[in-house]
Amino acid sequence: MIDFEVSEAAKVVQDMAHEIAEDAFRKIARYYDDHEHEFIKETDEIIKKMNMVGLQAMSALQEQGGKGSTILAMLRQEEYNWGDAGISLGATNLGLGNAAIFAVANEDQRNRFGTRYASMAITEPCCGSDTANIQATAKLDPETNEWILNGEKIFVTGGEHCELVVGWFSLDRSLGRAAIKSFVIEKGTPGMTVTKLEHKLGIKASDTAAIVFEDCRVPYENILGNPEIQPKKTTATGFKGAMKTFDATRPYVAIQAIGVARAALDFTKEKLEKEGYTFPYDLSQHELSVVQKAILDMEANLDAARLLIWKSAAMLDTGERNSLDASFGKAKAGRAATLVTQKCVELLGPLGYSREWLVEKWMRDCKITDIFEGTGQIQMLVIARTILGFNRDQLK
């Protein structure tokens, strides 16, 4: 059915999340932007509050007959990011690594790793978008039945305060993407060192780490998914499986952008209204002022982006393959949100540029959303290959 109704129960969840965003996140937003790398002491408190919302979401889910859990998550995620994207990423106990574990871990692994905060370590100095070309290696020591991991990972979100690292390593670089597997490494394992925390343009409250692996040994059982290299076969738990995980996480990443952009737009409208601007929806195109048109354009673009994300989220709930729609959502959101936050700073003149207001920070925070989890250009490439039916050789 085509339905845009957010249920009453879902609205309660959304309101709860919004309250936390306003009370807890916004209050500390500027502080952690000014104090990069300082440990977020409010983390436990925030996690407790978010867990309450999580419980409310479970109750709402029941009221909805068990359907629509991803949409409920979208509603929360948008509010938390409306509050603060950096805090949202920094003061959390669930990471991208958890998504990977959830997707492919076996019973034993689930028991051992539980729901401890797991970061995802893929990118290396040489390769970001070109994930198939990573140079980190994993070699099996047959005597001790351990994997020996070597390599350098960068841009690991939550790499500092996570308890587990899910890292991508190659079993045999000559065999390309088929030989790339993921491994779970517990913090404290000898040979794994956080060597650097990045200084960033935005989302400063989120720790972004470089992690070096030097003959780091992990038990055989820490490999996620099938350890066999199957060059011709695409397996559900191999590289393709990892990509499928991204289809599932892409809506979550995309909705972050919407949250931040909406914060900027809400704020900008409020400030302009105080200056006497109005934003009616029934003015003809010749009557609209430049400012009014800009606001309406931003609203339309954000709404379109949000709905594309919701569509991909709804497909997850109904078990449909959502790769193309997930890419639509991420591509549109990254681009639209970035432009919205930039336009908002522009519309607010010199005060928009000042650190007195959070809007300049939201523009800085938002920029990453068109880059991480697949840049906007890679999304375009994925979309293009899909609609053309072209492989990597046919469209580079």
Q: Catalytic amino acids?
A: 373
* Pick from 262, 212, 268, 338: nearest CA to 81: 262
Q: Both tokens of residue 295? A: 């606001």
Min. distance of Cβ 50 from other proteins in angstroms? 22
Min. distance of Cβ 182 from other proteins in angstroms? 29
Measured from the CB atom, the residue of 3 and 108 that comes closer to other proteins is 3
Centre a 10 Å sphere on the Cβ of residue 4 and count the other Cβ atoms it contains.
6
Measured from the CB atom, the residue of 65 and 142 that comes closer to other proteins is 65
Instruction: Give the integer Cα–Cα distance in Å for 357 and 182.
Output: 42
Min. distance of Cβ 327 from other proteins in angstroms? 8
Measured from the CB atom, the residue of 63 and 214 that comes closer to other proteins is 63
Min. distance of Cβ 346 from other proteins in angstroms? 19
Min. distance of Cβ 304 from other proteins in angstroms? 4
Measured from the CB atom, the residue of 328 and 362 that comes closer to other proteins is 328
Measured from the CB atom, the residue of 212 and 288 that comes closer to other proteins is 288
Instruction: Give the integer Cα–Cα distance in Å for 139 and 127.
Output: 20
Measured from the CB atom, the residue of 2 and 107 that comes closer to other proteins is 2
**What is the contact surface with other proteins in residues (CB under 8 A)?**
1-7, 10, 64, 67-68, 71, 281-282, 284-287, 296-297, 299-301, 303-305, 307-308, 310-311, 314, 318, 325, 328, 331-332, 377, 380-381, 383-385, 387-388, 390, 394-396
CA neighbours closer than 13 Å in the CB half-sphere of residue 293: 7
CB 327 within 8 A of CB 387: no
Centre a 10 Å sphere on the Cβ of residue 172 and count the other Cβ atoms it contains.
14
Could you please report the per-residue DSSP string of 241-266?
HHHHHHHHHHHHHHHHHHHHHHHHHH
> Helix 290-317 vs helix 323-347: angle between axes, to the nearest 10 degrees?
150
Q: Which class for 12: exposed (0-12), middle (13-18), buried (19 or more C-beta within 10 A)?
A: middle
Min. distance of Cβ 395 from other proteins in angstroms? 5
> Helix 359-367 vs helix 323-347: angle between axes, to the nearest 10 degrees?
150
Task: Give the torsion sign (CA, 318, 323, 324, 327).
Answer: positive
